[in-house]
Chain A
Amino acid sequence: MIRIPCPYCGPRDHDEFSYAGDATKVRPADPAAATPEDWHRYVYLRDNPRGAHLEYWHHVQGCRAYVKVLRDTATHEVLAAGLPSDDLPFEDLEAGR
Chain B
Amino acid sequence: MADATSLPQAPLPPRRSPLDAVWVAGDYGAAAVGGPGVTMLRRSGLSSVQLDARRGTAASLRAAVAGALGLALPGPGRAASGGEVRALWLGPDRWMLLAEDTFALEAKLRAAAEPAGGVVVDQSHGRTILRLSGPAVREVLAKGTGVDLHPRAFAEDAVAQTGLFHLAVTLDRRRGTGTFDVHGMRGFAQSLFESLCEAAAEFGYRLSE
Q: Which residues of A contact B (CB under 8 A)?
A: 1, 8-10, 12-13, 15-16, 61-65
Contacts and interface: CB of A to CB of B under 8 A. Distances in A.
B77 A9 contact: yes
A53 B163 CA distance: 26
A27 to B, nearest CB: 20
B161 A65 contact: no
Interface of B: 76-77, 90-92, 94, 146-147, 160-163, 168
B146 A62 contact: no
By secondary structure, the B interface counts as strand
By secondary structure, the A interface counts as loop
A16 B90 CA distance: 15
Nearest to B76: A8
Contact of A64 (B77, B91, B162, B163): B91
Nearest to A65: B92
Contacts of B146: 1, 12-13, 15-16
A63 B90 CA distance: 6
A62 B77 contact: no
The 10 closest A-B pairs by CB, nearest first: A63-B91, A13-B146, A61-B163, A62-B161, A8-B76, A61-B168, A64-B91, A63-B161, A16-B163, A65-B92
